[in-house]
Amino acid sequence: MHAIHDGLIWFHVACGFVALISFWVPALTQKGGTTHRRIGWVYVAAMLCVVISALALAALLFVAPLAVRDFSKARPEEVADGVVRLRGVALFFTALALLTFTGGWHGLRVLRDKRNSAAVRTPFNVTLHLLNVLIALPLWIFCIRDGEPLYGIFGTLCLLSGMSDLWNLRRPSDDPRYWLYEHLSSMIGTGIAAHTAFLAFGAVRLVPTIYSLSPALYVIPWVAPTGIGVMAITWLKRHYRKKSAAVLPSASASWTDPNAPLTTVP
């Protein structure tokens, strides 16, 4: 079981590294261009592998915590407490994987249904967002029980994200560029997850001396990517809305045609 766990960890890390690098190529290249699309699919594939491996790791921690972690030198009460905490970690990983997959799926789905925003409201898509809402409660319970504020933070994030998306699915937008805003928000959301994982797990090991200065510094890798990502989403939405409003009537077709690349946008 340890070998399976270690193998999943290395696979998860490798896929996460690919996702982390490939995220910035479509983010910085011409939207709708060949490079954007091709490297974008590399990013999607890498993140899908990250999600699958995270769910597998969570399942191992929840079902067989004693086989994954060595409790041979621990007292019985420490073993019992360790098992409970590991299952809390498993729930946390499951929530992160669900939040990431939901964002990626929704971000791709809106591209498929550019011409009809109501078509995005599929049973599968609705179920994904509903699961984000439902997983918030056990995360809050584990937050209170284990004294882990991150569980509460991400429980709130899952709740707000799920409720917001369910509301948007219930009231389809008539904005011809709705798909662009939704795609940007969703894919940046998955990027937040990739950067959070790197900073929270990778950077802590690369530069441990920085995080050892104060326990409070360990919270920064979990919160900073979300804060920066939300600001980026807000700015980009305003940017593209201004671009859309400023387009001359003669060029308006490039903004209303869902199949047209965003050649006027840097």
The confidence score (pLDDT) of residue 1 equals: 72
What does R_g of the chain's alpha carbons equal in angstroms? 20
Question: DSSP string covering 82-96, please?
Answer: HHHHHHHHHHHHHHH
Residues 127-151 have pLDDT tens digits of 999 999 999 999 999 999 888 888 8
In this structure, which amino acid lies at residue 207?
V
Around 11, how many Cα atoms within 13 Å sit in the side-chain half-sphere? 16
Residues 49-77 have pLDDT tens digits of 999 999 999 998 888 887 777 777 778 88
The confidence score (pLDDT) of residue 254 equals: 43
| Confidence band, pLDDT 50/70/90 cuts, at residue 211 | low
The confidence score (pLDDT) of residue 251 equals: 42
User: Does the pLDDT of residue 217 top 80, yes or no?
Assistant: no
Cβ atoms of 128 and 64 closer than 8 Å: no
The confidence score (pLDDT) of residue 250 equals: 44
Dihedral class, residue 147 (left if φ above 0, else alpha if ψ from -120 to 50, else beta): left
User: Does the pLDDT of residue 118 top 70, yes or no?
Assistant: yes
User: Does the pLDDT of residue 101 top 90, yes or no?
Assistant: yes
Distance CA 56, CA 113 (A): 31
Distance CA 99, CA 188 (A): 12
Cβ atoms of 69 and 87 closer than 8 Å: no
Provide, rounded to the nearest whole percent, the portion of the chain with pLDDT above 70.
86
User: Does the pLDDT of residue 265 top 60, yes or no?
Assistant: no
User: Does the pLDDT of residue 86 top 80, yes or no?
Assistant: yes
The confidence score (pLDDT) of residue 263 equals: 39
Distance CA 138, CA 172 (A): 30
Please report the sign of the dihedral spanned by the C-alpha atoms of residue 121, residue 124, residue 128, residue 133.
Answer: positive
Span 82-109, average pLDDT: 90
Which tokens belong to 164? Answer: 């917001």
The confidence score (pLDDT) of residue 216 equals: 67
Distance CA 178, CA 258 (A): 10
pTM tops 0.85: no
The confidence score (pLDDT) of residue 253 equals: 46
Place of tokens 């201004």: 242
The confidence score (pLDDT) of residue 128 equals: 93
Residues 10-28 have pLDDT tens digits of 899 899 889 999 999 998 8
Q: Is residue 122 classed as helix, strand or coil in its secondary structure? A: coil
Distance CA 149, CA 249 (A): 51
Which tokens belong to 247? Answer: 């387009």
State the chain's mean pLDDT as an integer: 83
